[in-house]
Amino acid sequence: MTTSRLATLGRDEPSLLPLAQRLLSLAESGLPAMLLPGQEAFAFTMAGTKAPDGSWSLERRGTSTRYAAITALGVRHLSEDRQRVVLAGRTAQEFTGSLVESLPSVTNLGDAALIAWAAAETGHPKLSDALAGVEALDDHDRPQYTVEAAWVLSALAAARDSADVERPLAAARDRLLRARIGNGPLFPHATGPGLVPWYRAHVSCFADQTYPLQALARAHAGGDGDPEALAASEACAARLCELQGEGGQWWWHYDARTGGVVEGYPVYSVHQHAMAPTALFDLADAGGSDFGASIRKGLRWMTDVPELAGHPAAHEPLIVDGLNVTWRKVYRGDPKKAVRAARGLSTRAVPGLRLKPLDRVYRPLSVDHECRPYELGWMLYAWQGGRI
């Protein structure tokens, strides 16, 4: 199905359109195998194992409520018949209904927020129950993880046309805006002190940026507009794009105080093909800047991975059509994430300190052979949105 986002990609960089279409086909084909048989849940991950003859097999491991909700958000953009193929005979709304029914046993704010977001976007008649589940878990007097706080705001923004959510929406919006350190454009890992150890309280990840910038853009797009929220979203997006790697990499860890990169690796496939696109698309749709060039640059990384050039791993694609997966990330393979820890500690004392010898000792030459349902769910959400 043609969407405005795919059409724009085909217009601006025609050579990338087949790649996007290939990824979307892979997502639709791969998600049914991630659905746990006879359950209203998706696996936490699909782990790949390579046999001596070079063949690969996948094993479902764990279960995840939040990944199920994200999948519902993405699948709901498909036609009804295609939704039923992915979700074992159910529509995205019907599948979301089972998630709403599970809310009494949900104890995580992020999981509840994603379920409410899916209920709002699928038009589920029990949206009020889903919103009540979020309210029961959300304590605005205590700090929350930034990602989960952002999902709360996105859920409330999505529910605006169906429920009276202006009071909690304003509180969720203010919480995100207050979380920033000084006048910096980036967001910390938590909305207040207490959840993160002091020595790494300045370190935030890519998700801590994309979900707030998306949520604030969506908050502006509804109601009477919110220029302050849009400006914060715009500033965050502009800084992320300024820091983007020459090969299109969206880096992993940032210094929320200075707006710099703490440690670039791992580079995650989901950031390249889904999370950055959906956040930046939503910003543009809300009236913000068009960061399409950065989206395209990031997408190109999926088949042109500079980290692996000249290395035996260069012959291993990150997109595996036969398995219907995208391998999860390219990473350093350093023991106990030593580089990340060293740079987190060093930048706490000296902002911007890089410890460059670590790049030579621990090169990013490893590929993580996993794929998680939310990666494919967000991919559908990013590129199947904005229908013509």
Is the pLDDT at 216 greater than 80? The verdict is yes
Q: Say if residue 380's pLDDT is above 90.
A: yes
Residue 62, pLDDT > 90, answer yes
**Claim to verify: residue 344 and residue 384 sit in the same structural domain:** no
Q: Given pLDDT bands bounded at 50, 70 and 90, which one contains residue 356?
A: low
- Residue 36 pLDDT level (bands cut at 50, 70, 90): very high
The model's confidence at residue 335, banded by pLDDT at 50, 70 and 90, is low
Q: What is the pLDDT of residue 197?
A: 86
Within a domain: 207: yes
pLDDT at site 388: 46
Residue 149 lies in a domain: no
Same domain, yes or no: 2 and 14: yes
Give the chain's mean pLDDT.
91
Confidence at 309, pLDDT banded by 50, 70, 90: confident
Quick one: 6 and 50 in the same domain? yes
Find the mean pLDDT for residues 88-96. Answer: 97
The full 3-state SS of the chain, as one line of letters, equals CCEHHHHHHHHHCHHHHHHHHHHHHHHHHHHHHHECCCCCCECCEEEEEECCCCCEEEEEECCEHHHHHHHHHHHCCCCHHHHHHHCCCCCHHHHHHHHHHCHHHCCCHHHHHHHHHHHHHHCCCCHHHHHHHHHHHCCCCCCCEHHHHHHHHHHHHHHCCCCCCHHHHHHHHHHHHHHCCCCCCCCCCECCCCCCCHHHCCEEECHHHHHHHHHHHHHHHCCCCCHHHHHHHHHHHHHHHHHCCCCCCCCCEEECCCCEEEECCCEEHHHHHHHHHHHHHHHHHCCCCCCHHHHHHHHHCCCCCHHHCCCHHHHCCCEECCCCEECCEEECCCHHHHHHHHHHHHHHHCCCCCCCHHHHHCCCCEEECEECHHHHHHHHHHHHCCEC
pLDDT band, very low/low/confident/very high, at 74 (cuts 50, 70, 90): very high
Q: Does residue 1 carry a pLDDT above 70?
A: no
In a domain, 223, yes or no: yes
- Give the span between the Cα atoms of 226 and 173, in whole angstroms: 10
Residues 249 and 387 in one domain: no
- What band does 209 get if pLDDT is binned at 50, 70 and 90? very high
* 215-243: average pLDDT: 96
Q: Looking at the structure, do residues 129 and 201 belong to the same domain, yes or no?
A: no
Residue 256 included in any domain? yes
Domain that holds residue 92: 1-137+372-388
Percent of the chain with pLDDT over 70: 90
pLDDT at 157 > cutoff 80: yes
Looking at the fold, whether 193 and 63 belong to one and the same domain comes out as no
pLDDT at 340: 55
Cα radius of gyration rounded to whole Å, the chain: 20
Do 64 and 178 share a domain, yes or no? no
**278 in the same domain as 378:** no
Which band of pLDDT confidence, cut at 50, 70 and 90, is reported for residue 225?
very high
Residues 96-118, mean pLDDT to the nearest whole number: 97
Confidence of residue 182 (pLDDT cuts 50, 70, 90): confident
How many domains does the chain divide into?
2
With a cut of 90, say whether residue 322 has pLDDT above it: yes
Does residue 323 sit within a domain? Answer: no
Same domain, 114 and 18: yes
| Across 359-363, average pLDDT | 60
In this structure, the answer to whether residues 244 and 388 fall within a common structural domain is no
Same domain, 98 and 172: no
Asked if pLDDT for residue 345 goes beyond 90, the answer is: no
**Domain identity same for 211 and 68:** no
Position 324 in a domain:
no
